[in-house]
Structure 1
């Protein structure tokens, strides 16, 4: 993924919910190669909210992974965080 010129990116995403769902599929390894390629190489270069959400989600997952040594984060915690992020995107 390139480092786009953020001043030229869309400042609002018309498809926040769908984009967040696609982001989750990608990070969970469940997206097709075509979906992943389009979202990461095209959409994120054009859409600042999705670009920021992608990097936030990656940081959250990395932090959870590093803090939960040996054990996975409780699914309830993961689900709660995801729900809060999705609610924030929808508003």
Structure 2
């Protein structure tokens, strides 16, 4: 399994599309079944994003405020850029 992803930004964007339900079936299939099997950083990011979203759902009475979601995404992207 790769320890570094050469397409961090594109993978993060694809991850967001998948989790937001906006990715095509083919995109989702490729990313989840092929890319995550080979790329440890993306595997970790996927599970982190799922955990964050689940936490927000359980802690917030309603949808998470969009500003909070945007702030979290920005911080995740900044952290990925530093890796």
TM-score range, shorter chain: over 0.9
Which protein shows a greater Rg? 1
CA distance in 1, matches of 2:81, 2:7: 9
TM-score (norm 2): 0.97
User: Under a length normalisation based on structure 1, what TM-score does the superposition of the two structures give?
Assistant: 0.88
Structure 1 residue ranges without an equivalent (≥5): 1-8
Query: What secondary structure sits across from 2:2 in the alignment?
Result: coil
Shift of 1:57: 0.1
User: What are the residue-to-residue correspondences of 1:43-82 with 2, within 5 Å?
Assistant: 43-69=35-61, 71-82=62-73
Structure 1 stretches of 4+ with a deviation exceeding 2 A read none
Distance 1:33 1:72 in 2: 25
CA distance in 2, matches of 1:35, 1:13: 17
In the alignment, structure 2 segments of 5+ residues that lack a partner are none
* Superposition pairs of residues 9-24 of structure 1, within 5 angstroms: 9-24=1-16
1:90 Cα offset (Å): 1.4
In the TM superposition, residue 87 of structure 1 has moved relative to its aligned partner by 1.0
What residue is the counterpart of 1:3 in the other structure? Answer: none
